[in-house]
């Protein structure tokens, strides 16, 4: 029997990394050697040892196996409030201004369902994490893309948004340090975004999963909540996935505007039932007890990988587009402008998977994204395969 898809998902494209994962599985089943993945932004290294110890210790207790509360365990919310105070000098009320998420991706999608209607417009950057587009489609709203390119410093020109679009705009997505470009912007841009959204009554969804992955001696990128007035117009998505190498644990949070927190909780409490308590406790340890030296050493390793990839680019038919100061990514240009062709050729010819820029929108066409979440051994092998392949073309 064939069951038709609901109208709301009829035009929803499959998640690009799911499709790629299936293709790689097939190629691995038939091919000579396993494909090395430099596409997905998943850290290869483990979280701090104290975090795993805490998980095991709490999991061994008999009293932690029931449902948690829908707002999430206070121990996690209080730890996140302390982290925001220490890191950003931002005061958050752990009972009203913090909501744990099953990874920030879950919250991003549910925020659209909770706040936008058919006929509304969601403003999003022309290069963006795919969940902003997919959530808008699921909510039945319309998309208006704000170009972000090298020419405008990867930050939208808000004055270019037409007035009729602005009137219908309910939600804007921004994310810095940026995936996929690796671009970071100065604090006055954060202020500009808050000012603009307040002026036009737009909810600002600021996605901030990479504030601690910084290079060249830079420390912690800002939180949007540091901007005066942000609490009245913005929510920020934070995540332990990349900061503490906990992507598989699925824990993040939305912080900020208290009424939006309540609205998202209304949806979430009807959809999910939070986390296993041991995850909250271990995440609290990650947030409050990870030494800065652990973060610095991890970033040092990423920086070495970054430099190796950048050095290899001229030999693998790519040009560096932006020297990344942050994030897990390198954004490079394909000379003939065909990222899909480059991706297909390296995948099948070199057995290395890199991400086509088109995964992130039309302005990604002609670019390739590399992820640094790959072991040093795999990285050396992948670069040697890529060099050999492109030398033979």
Which one of residues 81, 104, 139, 225 is an interface residue with ligand PLP (CB under 6 A)?
104
Of 64-72, 102-110, 112-120, 285-293, the segment contacting ligand PLP by CB under 6 A is: 102-110
Q: Does 132 bind ligand PLP (CB under 6 A)?
A: no
Which one of residues 38, 41, 173, 367 is an interface residue with ligand PLP (CB under 6 A)?
41
Residue 112 or 316 having the CB closest to ligand PLP? 112
Answer yes or no: are the C-beta atoms of 114 and 263 closer than 8 Å.
yes
Residue 138 or 166 having the CB closest to ligand PLP? 138
Residue 149 or 315 having the CB closest to ligand PLP? 149
Residue closest to ligand PLP when measured from CB atoms = 103
Query: ∠ at Cα 252 (249, 258), nearest 5°?
Result: 155
Which one of residues 175, 181, 233, 245 is an interface residue with ligand PLP (CB under 6 A)?
175
* Binders of ligand PLP in range 207-246 (CB under 6 A): 207, 209, 239, 241
DSSP characters over 233-267: TEEEEEEHHHHTT-GGG--EEEEE-HHHHHHHHHH
Residue 135 or 179 having the CB closest to ligand PLP? 179
Residue 175 or 290 having the CB closest to ligand PLP? 175
Residue 299 or 317 having the CB closest to ligand PLP? 299
Residue 374 phi, psi dihedral angles, 5° rounding: -140, 140
Closest contact distance (angstroms) between CB of 250 and ligand PLP is 7
How far is residue 135 from each of residues 84, 85, 106, measured CA to CA in Å?
Answer: 27, 31, 10
Closest contact distance (angstroms) between CB of 1 and ligand PLP is 34
Query: In angstroms, rounded to a whole number, what is the distance separating the alpha carbons of residues 137 and 112?
Result: 9
Cα dihedral 304→305→307→309 (10° resolution): 160
Question: The tokens 């009320």 sit on which residue?
Answer: 93
| H/E segment holding residue 85 | helix 74-88
Query: In angstroms, rounded to a whole number, what is the distance separating the alpha carbons of residues 365 and 78?
Result: 43
* Binders of ligand PLP in range 330-389 (CB under 6 A): none
Cα dihedral 263→266→267→270 (10° resolution): 180
| H/E segment holding residue 283 | helix 277-289
Residue 107 or 312 having the CB closest to ligand PLP? 107
* Binders of ligand PLP in range 247-286 (CB under 6 A): 247, 252
Q: Does 133 bind ligand PLP (CB under 6 A)?
A: no
Closest contact distance (angstroms) between CB of 388 and ligand PLP is 30
Answer yes or no: are the C-beta atoms of 377 and 141 closer than 8 Å.
no
Q: Does 179 bind ligand PLP (CB under 6 A)?
A: yes
Closest contact distance (angstroms) between CB of 2 and ligand PLP is 32
Query: In angstroms, rounded to a whole number, what is the distance separating the alpha carbons of residues 267 and 120?
Result: 19
Residue 84 or 129 having the CB closest to ligand PLP? 129
Beta strands in 228-375 (DSSP E): 234-239, 252-256, 319-322, 329-333, 352-353, 355-356, 367-371
| Contact positions vs ligand PLP (CB under 6 A) | 41, 103-105, 129, 175, 179, 207, 209, 239, 241, 247, 252
């Amino acid at each position: 029997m064939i069951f038709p898809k609901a109208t709301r998902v009829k035009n929803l494209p499959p998640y690009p990394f799911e499709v790629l994962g299936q293709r790689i599985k097939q190629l691995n089943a038939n091919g000579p050697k396993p494909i090395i993945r430099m596409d997905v932004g998943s850290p290869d290294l483990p979280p701090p040892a104290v975090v795993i110890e805490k998980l095991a210790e709490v999991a061994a207790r008999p009293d932690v196996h029931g449902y948690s509360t829908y707002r999430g365990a206070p121990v996690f919310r209080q730890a996140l409030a302390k982290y925001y105070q220490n890191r950003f000098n931002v005061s958050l009320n752990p009972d009203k201004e913090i909501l744990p998420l099953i990874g920030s991706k879950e919250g991003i999608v549910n925020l659209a369902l909770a706040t936008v209607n058919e006929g509304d417009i969601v403003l999003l950057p022309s290069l963006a994490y795919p969940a902003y587009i997919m959530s808008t489609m699921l909510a039945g709203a319309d998309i208006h893309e704000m170009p972000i390119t090298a020419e405008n410093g990867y930050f939208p020109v808000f004055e270019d948004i037409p007035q009729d679009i602005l009137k219908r705009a309910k939600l804007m997505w921004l994310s810095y340090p940026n995936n996929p470009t690796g671009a970071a912007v100065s604090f006055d841009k954060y202020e500009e975004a808050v000012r603009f959204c307040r002026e036009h009554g737009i909810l600002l969804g600021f996605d901030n999963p990479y504030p601690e992955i910084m290079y060249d001696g830079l420390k912690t990128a800002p939180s949007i909540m540091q901007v005066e007035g942000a609490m009245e117009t913005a929510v920020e998505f934070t995540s332990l996935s990349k900061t503490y190498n906990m992507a598989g644990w699925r824990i993040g949070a939305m912080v900020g505007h208290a009424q939006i927190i309540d609205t998202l909780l209304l949806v979430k409490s009807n959809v999910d039932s939070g986390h296993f308590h041991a995850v909250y406790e271990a995440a609290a340890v990650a947030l409050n007890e990870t030494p800065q030296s652990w973060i610095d050493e991890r970033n040092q390793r990423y920086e070495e990988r970054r430099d190796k990839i950048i050095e290899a680019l001229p030999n693998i038919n790519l040009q560096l587009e932006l020297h990344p100061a942050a994030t897990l990514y390198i954004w490079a240009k394909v000379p003939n402008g065909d990222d899909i062709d480059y991706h297909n050729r390296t995948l099948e010819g070199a057995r290395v998977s890199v991400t086509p820029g088109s995964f992130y929108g039309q302005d990604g066409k002609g670019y390739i994204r590399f992820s640094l979440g790959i072991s040093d051994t795999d990285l050396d092998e992948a670069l040697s395969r890529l060099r050999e392949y492109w030398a033979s073309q």
